Amino acid sequence: MIAEEQHRVTVRRAELPGDLGWIVQTHGEVFAELCAWGQDFEGFVASIVSDYTKPADNSRQAAWIAEVDGERAGCIMLMPHDERTAKLRVLLVSPLARGLGIGARLVEEHLRFAHTAGYKHVSLWTTNNLTAARRLYERAGFELQSESPTHLFGGDYMEQTWVLDL
């Protein structure tokens, strides 16, 4: 883990060449190590990133990259679910950058944009084994709306939907 006082942490829009590819690659690498998830998970993330690139009107979606000393260290995406609801997607903080408040900063930026873009709600989907992310969601005010058992990415989990009213 990196001490915050020794490093410069920034959050910027994901607009540079390689940003979207980094999101897919890093999810694949990190979740293979943390959860033993394989290419099916990496493909799942790639499909989300692909969907992000398709809308003709990008004014109601955004993606952010967190950097530590100019190196990518985290990400998050906001994508529309419908006119009133935004979806929080692909939140990740690389293991070496955890403990710097990056996850909270990414979620704050996401929620600020969602409010400014006129959304009334934000929802997200996760699994019960991702406890650190769930703690971030709870601290931001998200509430567990539903959960059910599922078999995904080679394991048995509880899939969860969390919702926040803005």
The pLDDT of residue 5 is: 58
CA–CA distance, 41 with 63 (Å, rounded to integer) = 20
The pLDDT of residue 7 is: 79
- 153 vs 56, higher pLDDT: 153
Cβ partners under 8 Å of residue 71, min gap 6? none
Domain of 87: which CATH number?
3.40.630.30
**Whether residue 1 has pLDDT greater than 90:** no
Q: Would you call 160 exposed, middle or buried from its count of C-beta atoms within 10 A (0-12, 13-18, 19+)?
A: buried
**Domain ranges, residue 58:** 4-165
Q: What pLDDT digit, counting tens, does each position of 4-27 carry?
A: 457 799 999 999 999 999 999 999
Q: What pLDDT digit, counting tens, does each position of 97-139 carry?
A: 999 999 999 999 999 999 999 999 999 999 999 999 999 999 9
Q: For the chain, how many structural domains are there in total?
A: 1
Q: Residues in the chain, how many?
A: 166
